[in-house]
Structure 1
């Protein structure tokens, strides 16, 4: 008789019944946290909706500390220059850094890729050195709703086309890709519809534009191509660079040129330069193509 009831449990009325089966709610919060620590940020947020154990565990600092980039203190203290952010819970800090944050007088932005925590950077046209930019015969800054920034640089016509940029930064170890975001033609809205003025587009099909990248630790990359696809913003790949020492400040210099003075070129919008981790760059390029 004892053997028959040894595995039974009392129910709410004091009667013996079959043992209850373990449920997800019975998972200890500490065990749930160990599971979440193995996942990426988007998967953590999905599992946090599963039950109370996962929801409570999903706020643990040690989980989100591992998702933040290794140089997050450098970003907060020396790039954004808002050390009060370090007082936030790590989950809140991750969420804050996942939204674009302007720096350097609003001419640059930094954010974390929401899924991977990889560092992404944007450098506006106003933070670039553009030959002839102050001469209104050649260049102007035009307002737009199609950029992260209020304006883009618009080239009407020029013989010597040269755009240079540089940035000093501490990147986590990994491979990074640098792009220029450009558009042939000047887009605007008329009666609520997007239109593109192409009257000044010329010269880009005669000789290719050259893209170059160098780093302070001796890396070089380059490419060249004809600019095309009028009326659409295109990410032109400049090159890749590799970071091995996450504690070292690295200087990235990059350029875009078409300096064949046998012909003029014009009708080009220069929006920004962008730096993405290579894994993020693949996704961005597939979405923009």
Structure 2
């Protein structure tokens, strides 16, 4: 490979992945030059990255000294759309992921201070989070268009949340979760517990309707928050609306849920 022109080597490496390119850069000086070139790293970017950068809340925080440096800068969460959404590239594949803030979600009764409060917290990446005071009807909905995602990719949807010390009622009844794409019937539906105090009851059990499954409870994230899986879907190549929801519409009073948002991220290989 050392005998090939640098642009030819870069072209070959563009069919690999960002981690592979970094490994090839350690083979030789010629390979390093090709593996670090803008010609190569530009191929790992999504086609709409200039538009994404134009929406950045603080573009000056990005290292744009080279396409390689810019790529790895975008592997860290970037606030866009006035700070109401977070964008990130997957370091291993260059695929796109987003977090919709609580303000971008449709939350039943969220404008009534008797039921929900909006406040800032230093632990959140967003300006505000929503804290549930008391409701008997919990309904959280979000949507995203596949055109802003990486095409032909399996995505997972996760609710990002915490439970406050004032929690009550969240462990009594399971919530229904659903993900649907376009006009199709739900891609995936099931039931989850936002909180379970009795760990012996935390199981992946079948409910009465055999087509529904209790997916589980919230798990810890690296950023200090908790997450619970809402479902997954395939982005395809057409522009379609993805609808995500979590609902518990019984008569059980509940409170103490702190909602940061919903993340849509590429599904990792098992």
> Partner of 2:172 in structure 1?
206
Q: Name the CA shift for 1:80/1:63 in 2 (closer, same or farther; >3 Å).
A: closer
Segment of structure 1 superposing worse, 125-134 or 140-149: 140-149
> Partner of 2:194 in structure 1?
227
> Partner of 1:274 in structure 2?
263
Aligned equivalents of 2:53 and 2:95: distance in 1? 16
5 Å matches for 1:247-262? 248-261=238-251
5 Å matches for 1:69-218? 69=46, 72-73=47-48, 75-77=49-51, 79-81=52-54, 90-91=67-68, 93-170=70-147, 171=149, 172-185=151-164, 198=165, 200-218=166-184
SS of residue matched to 1:205: coil
Q: Name the CA shift for 1:219/1:96 in 2 (closer, same or farther; >3 Å).
A: farther
Count, aligned residues: 236
Q: Which has the higher contact order (CA 8 A, sep 6+)?
A: 2
CA RMSD of aligned residues (A): 3.1
1:67 matched to 2:44? The reply is yes
Aligned equivalents of 2:258 and 2:226: distance in 1? 11
* Alpha-carbon distance, 1:153 to partner: 0.8
If each structure's helix is expressed as a fraction of its own residues, which one has the higher value? Answer: 1
> Partner of 2:254 in structure 1?
265
Aligned equivalents of 1:256 and 1:80: distance in 2? 31
Question: Scaled by the length of structure 1, what TM-score is found?
Answer: 0.70
* Alpha-carbon distance, 1:38 to partner: 4.7
* Alpha-carbon distance, 1:37 to partner: 3.5
Aligned equivalents of 1:229 and 1:28: distance in 2? 60
* Alpha-carbon distance, 1:277 to partner: 1.0
Q: Name the CA shift for 1:219/1:49 in 2 (closer, same or farther; >3 Å).
A: farther
Q: Which runs of 5+ in 1 are unaligned?
A: 1-23, 186-197, 283-289
Q: Which runs of 5+ in 2 are unaligned?
A: 198-217
Question: Scaled by the length of structure 2, what TM-score is found?
Answer: 0.75
Q: Name the CA shift for 1:34/1:128 in 2 (closer, same or farther; >3 Å).
A: closer
SS of residue matched to 1:279: coil
Aligned equivalents of 1:80 and 1:226: distance in 2? 37
Q: Name the CA shift for 1:225/1:99 in 2 (closer, same or farther; >3 Å).
A: closer
* Alpha-carbon distance, 1:224 to partner: 0.7
- Rg comparison, structure with higher value: 1
SS of residue matched to 1:201: strand
